[in-house]
Structure 1
Amino acid sequence: MTHATFYIIDETHLAADSDYQWHFACSQAALSYRQGHKVYLLADSKAQAEQIDEYLWQQDPDNFVPHNLIGEGPRGGSPVEIGWPGRRHSGRRGVLINLAQEAPNFAVTFSQVVDFVPCDEKLKQLARERYKQYRQAGIQLKTAAAPETP
């Protein structure tokens, strides 16, 4: 059964880091990788996926996470694969980290889903819709406060 956690992001997170949401998504990908999971990080767009890829390349060598953009890297992808809507991940992966505005219809193929509730009202409403879609798909849901720093 798939389990999803929605992390609630508030104004204090964004005041400290305007890109907090995807920095936190990257830290969740790194944590999942270190726990032995293969991760699919679904960006909202190809441009955002490229930004995330660049951000991960800039991490300290001690914090390096093997990753690639979808369609690049080794056959079957790296432990952390970064994609965007309209592209499908390669192979079986345990963790989906969703930064897209819509719930991917393949979320149920993962054991864990990480999603976000931004503080912007329009984006918050989109998160509510994703929550409903996940619930209708039979995914077990919970919410949690995002940590102060990613």
Structure 2
Amino acid sequence: MSQVVFYVFATEEKSSSLALSAHFAHACTIAAFFYGQNKKVFIYTDSQQDAFAVDEYLWQFDGDSFVPHNLLGEGPKFGTPVEISWRAPLHPRPVLINLSEKAPDFAIKFQQIIDFVPYPEAEKIAARIRYSAYKKMGVTLSTQTVEDSSATESTNKTED
């Protein structure tokens, strides 16, 4: 059964990159974590522009924390450990990081789904709609509060 973890931003955060929102930057950090765990990740965005922004941000990681990644259809036949696209994935992967405003129809094919509840109210409303959509898919849902981007601990609650 698929599991969804929503990262909830408790305060308005600024990314170190002005071109990238805090939850996009946090998504890249999570992708790096899963890469370190030898898990392949698919990052789904709403647009080509968003996919390019994530791709560019991942290139800015320092050499010690480089995350091999590519846009869907580029690179090796089965992709790199982290693939980014605004289109559905071509190959199965265990982890989906959703940066889209909607819950993708193909989400149920992933073991683990990462999603976000950004601080701005309009984005919270979209996250509530995604939460409801995932619930209808029958997946296990949980949340983790992101108190501060530099914090290493977060609170966790699970809903059945």
Query: What root-mean-square deviation, in Å, do the aligned CA atoms of Structure 1 and Structure 2 show?
Result: 1.6
Counting only pairs closer than 5 Å after superposition, residues 54-65 of structure 1 correspond to structure 2 as: 54-65=56-67
Distance, in Å, in 2 between the alignment partners of 1:72 and 1:51 is 16
Is 1:139 the counterpart of 2:120 in the alignment? Answer: no
* Partner of residue 28, structure 1: 30
Contact 2:4 2:113 in 1 (8 A): yes
Corresponding pairs, count: 148
Counting only pairs closer than 5 Å after superposition, residues 47-126 of structure 1 correspond to structure 2 as: 47-84=49-86, 87-126=87-126
- Deviation for aligned residue 1:12: 4.0
- Deviation for aligned residue 1:54: 0.9
- Deviation for aligned residue 1:89: 1.1
Distance, in Å, in 1 between the alignment partners of 2:7 and 2:110 is 18
Distance, in Å, in 2 between the alignment partners of 1:15 and 1:71 is 28
* Partner of residue 45, structure 2: 43
* Partner of residue 8, structure 1: 8
Q: Percent identity?
A: 44
- Deviation for aligned residue 1:118: 1.3
Distance, in Å, in 2 between the alignment partners of 1:123 and 1:12 is 12
| 5+ long unaligned stretches in structure 1 | none
Other structure's SS at 1:149 match: coil
TM, length-normalised to structure 2: 0.86
TM, length-normalised to structure 1: 0.92
- Deviation for aligned residue 1:16: 7.2
Contact 1:77 1:90 in 2 (8 A): no
- Deviation for aligned residue 1:15: 7.8
| 5+ long unaligned stretches in structure 2 | 151-160
